[in-house]
Amino acid sequence: MNNIRNIALFAHVDAGKTTITENLLFAGGNIRLKGSVDKGTSQTDFLDIEKEKGISIRAACVSFIKNDVIINLIDTPGHIDFSSETERTMLAIDGAVIIISAAEGVQSHTETLWLLMQKLNIPTVFFINKIDRSGADTEQVVEEINKILTKNTVVLQNVENEGENNASVNNIFTENNIPNEIIETIVGLNENLFEKYVDEHPISHKELQLELKKNVQNCSLFPVLFGAAKNEVGTNELLDAIIEFLPEPKSDEDKLSGFIYKIEHDKTLGKISHIRLFSGKIDKRDIVFNATQQLEEKVAQIKKVYTQKYTDIEEIEQGNIAVITGFSKAKAGDIIGTGNFKKKDLLISDIPLLTVKVTAKNDADSPKLLEAFRQLTDEDPNLNMQWIVDLRELHINIKGKIQIEIITEILKTRFGIEAEFDEPAIIYKETPAKSAEGYVRYWMPKPCWAIMRFKIEPGDRNYGVFYESAVSYDKIKQRYQNQVENTIPKALKQGLKGWEVTDLKITLIDGEDHEVHTHPKDFAVATPMGIMDGLQNCDTILLEPILSFRITAPEDMLGQIAGDLNQMRATFASPKFENEKVILTGKVPAATSLDYPVVLASTTGGKGKISTKFESYQQCTLGQGKTTPFRGISPLDTAKYILHARNAL
């Protein structure tokens, strides 16, 4: 395995990720001239919409070599509406840099990103950017990191001329002079070094550096560096820290194992799969098993990305990141190979809470719109495109209204389609109100025969869906039972109130097939009818998405904010007071609070901050929530549904 660093830059929007990426590419000798975010000439923000908005909307990987180290650097989106790709990127890397503005401090999305990194144990370096900005307060930002994110930081630099254009940084972790605070932080995690320190035996810089490296890589310590990307301050030191402290990829197995963290569509190359290979090797023209979709596809080309240019390579070796063409069925998030890599269940913030209907302004563009969203859903499966044939309606799921602006522009510039979006609606869910049974006897019009009885029981909140069969293969053959299990997710897409059904246990308790009359797809047709019959017998209750929040604001605004929270049906803990500020934490329905960040900023003159993340789905009343008509033909309308399922309408 080559000496590789697979890293990504993460931050709240507008903290300077893309400018830092340009600086790192320049410092690594990969580009001769740095691009500009403002001018739309950066290496990783080259889509028209990214240039126009000045924000990254998708992850972009560039590779370069520094000191014989291959660095695969991914610049991720900072806006929460585009966090799907950000979170998939976390599964493809070995180390991270979190960038925080010295003027704005720890912002809402930063905290969410940090929680995900903690869950995945990603070694991380903090880089406090914009030390030249008016209002920069690096000491306060370090305090915020220690209070909100982690206390296990080690500051390796100091700042001079903070808040001025000539701001600079000095390394204080050097062979000549190491502050006692740094020494004590490092030796405190090693009993032998601690004893040497207490006994006043000399400890070398090399010993401390090796111990710091070990603790950074096991996520016990997190270095803090400073800089001003606009003025190229701190870039070389950050690059040195990436190489010195962040880990190389490791693998203990030989079986092929990889992860497709990103899909793109190129006019010349077609569908491109961005892959992190954890183990094994892929050569050109290899047949590769897609474990997620249970199919095989052939590799056409393998390429590395250097400054927006693809360079052909013969193979991807374990630990590396590259792109592959030829995987026509691949989707972002797919796992390849038969190795041990398992996609961890992140989903802390990566859950779309809004659904919206999309139509083409020109009816003639409707087929093109459908094909465009098929491509976009391959790139971001969370869009969860639903094409309802009977109504000729297209619906997608989104995370926020800014996403609509971006998708509108992508449809226009990339596909040549003018589209209109309805007002987004909150995505509710439903769950059984009690236990009941569902029954289906699908035996007319022949040839068909599928009889089943299901038991449906409520599960604990956020339990998900659990299915099992108590029926022997003598009564229903295994291949038909496999059909039932594979159809359950589809059968639960819409319940009695029009929303996805969750938090339940389904058991197949009885049934039969027929040697002569059972058609291969009969049990797939019958399953939704049996499930909906059971839901009708037990009734369902509505669930709404709940967000956890943290508000920081001037303490004299407490009364106003508490009143707002009560109106939004929020629950919150007793307020805490720090440095003339009030801190409130609690939970609030998404339906009542989506616009509150704007309201809070307006109310507090920009001094109030709110960070939110998805917490769970919880019960609400019909008055607090919203039902929606069943889209398409309901399995409860059995006669029409059967004709539809058999393509007889």
Which strand (E) or helix (H) includes residue 209? helix 205-217
Pairing between β-strand 301-306 and β-strand 321-325 as defined by DSSP bridges: antiparallel
Is 64 within the bounds of a domain? yes
* Angle subtended at Cα 32 by Cα 28 and Cα 38, rounded to the nearest 5 degrees: 100
Is 485 within the bounds of a domain? yes
Q: Give the E-state strand segments of 104-193 in sequence order.
A: 124-129, 153-155, 157-160, 168-171
Q: Render pLDDT for 541-572 as a digit per residue (tens, 0 to 9).
A: 999 999 999 999 999 999 999 999 999 999 99
pLDDT above 60 (res 41) = no
Is 207 within the bounds of a domain? no
Residue 97 is given by DSSP the state: E
User: What was the pLDDT predicted at 52?
Assistant: 57
Same domain, 163 and 227: yes
Give the structural domain span for 333. 257-337
Same domain, 62 and 159: yes
DSSP line for 38-74: TTT--SS--SHHHHHHTS--S-EEEEEEETTEEEEEE
Is 178 within the bounds of a domain? no
Is 468 within the bounds of a domain? yes
Confirm if 284 and 309 have CB atoms less than 8 A apart. no
Same domain, 123 and 241: yes
Q: Render pLDDT for 183-240 as a digit per residue (tens, 0 to 9).
A: 999 999 999 999 999 998 989 999 999 999 999 999 999 999 999 999 999 999 999 9
- What CATH number has the domain bearing residue 363? 3.30.70.870
Is 184 within the bounds of a domain? no
User: Within 263-400, where are the H helices?
Assistant: 366-379
Same domain, 476 and 438: yes
**Alpha carbon of residue 600 to chain centroid:** 26
Q: Say how many C-beta atoms besides its own lie within 10 A of residue 343's C-beta.
A: 14
State pTM to two decimals: 0.84
Which strand (E) or helix (H) includes residue 465? strand 465-469
User: Within 42-163, where are the H helices?
Assistant: 48-53, 83-90, 108-120, 138-144
- What CATH number has the domain bearing residue 301? 2.40.30.10
Same domain, 41 and 169: yes
Same domain, 474 and 561: no
- What CATH number has the domain bearing residue 507? 3.30.230.10
Beta bridge partners of 541: 431
Confirm if 515 and 644 have CB atoms less than 8 A apart. no
Same domain, 421 and 471: no
User: What was the pLDDT predicted at 49?
Assistant: 57
User: What was the pLDDT predicted at 100?
Assistant: 95
Token match 């990889």: residue? 258
Domain boundary among 379, 405, 427: 427
How high does pLDDT run on average in the chain?
90
Same domain, 104 and 231: yes
Which strand (E) or helix (H) includes residue 505? strand 504-512
Same domain, 90 and 234: yes
Tokens of 27: 């410092």
Residues 6+ apart with CB under 8 A from 530: 438, 439, 440, 452, 453, 454
Confirm if 304 and 310 have CB atoms less than 8 A apart. yes
User: What was the pLDDT predicted at 16?
Assistant: 85
Beta bridge partners of 365: none
User: What was the pLDDT predicted at 349?
Assistant: 52
pLDDT above 50 (res 279) = yes
Q: How many helices (H) and strands (E) does the chain have?
A: 17, 35
pLDDT above 90 (res 339) = no
33: confidence class by pLDDT, cuts 50, 70, 90: low
Confirm if 313 and 304 have CB atoms less than 8 A apart. yes
Domain boundary among 398, 427, 456: 427
Same domain, 441 and 505: yes
Nearest to 391 by CA among 632, 634, 647: 632
Same domain, 162 and 308: no
**3-class DSSP state of 328:** coil
Q: Render pLDDT for 427-463 as a digit per residue (tens, 0 to 9).
A: 999 999 999 999 999 999 889 999 999 999 999 998 8
Q: How many domains does the chain have?
A: 5
Residues 6+ apart with CB under 8 A from 101: 12, 14, 15, 16, 107, 128, 129, 130, 133
Nearest to 93 by CA among 10, 20, 8, 12: 8
Confirm if 106 and 148 have CB atoms less than 8 A apart. yes
User: What was the pLDDT predicted at 35?
Assistant: 47
Is 194 within the bounds of a domain? no
Is 210 within the bounds of a domain? no
Domain boundary among 272, 307, 337: 337
pLDDT above 70 (res 630) = yes
Same domain, 391 and 450: no
Nearest to 317 by CA among 1, 645, 643: 1
Nearest to 390 by CA among 639, 632, 629: 632
In percent, the amount of the chain with pLDDT more than 70 equals: 93
Where does residue 138 rank: exposed (0-12), middle (13-18), buried (19+ CB within 10 A)? buried
**Alpha carbon of residue 407 to chain centroid:** 18
pLDDT above 90 (res 58) = no
